[in-house]
Amino acid sequence: MSSESTEVWTGWYRDRRGAEAIVIAVAVSGRGVHTRIRGVEYVGPSFSGLSAADSGEALSGCVMEWDMPLPVALDGAVQQATLGCLLALGERAADGRPDRVDLSLTLHFGGAAYESGIAGGDFYEALGRIRRQLPAGAEFGRRLLESA
């Protein structure tokens, strides 16, 4: 990733070969997601669109899990919350992409957990499901990155 501003989160990657800690970097400008798994650099326009930088091979047959801080404003006060993200990418289909993309988000806020359920990889659709469950007047304290 270039020297432009990024947000960085730690998480886990799991597949048939085992699990390893990963770092996920997302450009604040919304121009991409970046991570390195077992020495291979993966980049893409979104979490579910990661491909190997050298070969273009889509990431598949794995699970990625990470947490993101996400402040929530309620009654004029901003409270810290955490958005737990779980992305499951199915096996590679004939077109080279994962045969399924399952994304589940859980917002831990105010002593409660708000879940998106399974969404087909659309981060903002899943986040919208959570937003509709929040108490009246609650809003996310900042805009999440477009590339998510």
pLDDT at residue 73, rounded to an integer: 92
When pLDDT is cut at 50, 70 and 90, the band that residue 82 belongs to is: very high
Q: What is the mean pLDDT of the chain?
A: 88
pLDDT of 136 above 70: yes
Sheet holding 33-37, edge to edge: 51-52, 40-44, 33-37, 18-27, 6-15, 62-69, 82-89, 101-109, 112-119
pTM for the structure as a whole: 0.86
Please state which of the ranges 81-85, 118-122, 140-144 shows the lowest mean pLDDT: 140-144
* Torsion sign over Cα 53, 58, 61, 67: positive
Beta strand pairing call for 82-89 and 51-52: unpaired
Structure tokens at 114: 């708000």
Question: What distance in Å separates the CA atoms of residue 8 and residue 6, rounded to the nearest whole number?
Answer: 6
The residue-averaged pLDDT of 96-107 equals 93
pLDDT > 90 in the chain, percent: 67
DSSP letters spanning 31-67: --EEEEETTEEEEESSGGG-EETTT-PBP-SEEEEEE
- C-alpha 116/C-alpha 57 separation (Å) is 29
How many whole angstroms separate alpha carbon 61 and alpha carbon 80?
A: 33
Q: 3-class SS at 121? A: coil
Q: What is the pLDDT of residue 54?
A: 95
- Note the pLDDT tens digit of each residue in 28-78: 766 689 999 999 999 998 888 899 999 999 999 999 999 999 999 998 889
User: What is the pLDDT at residue 145?
Assistant: 47
What the block records as the tokens of 53 is 């930088």
Q: Is the pLDDT of residue 98 over 50?
A: yes
Q: How far is CA 79 from the centre of its chain?
A: 21
User: Can you list the alpha helix ranges (DSSP code H) found in 9-148?
Assistant: 123-131
Mean pLDDT of 5-14: 93
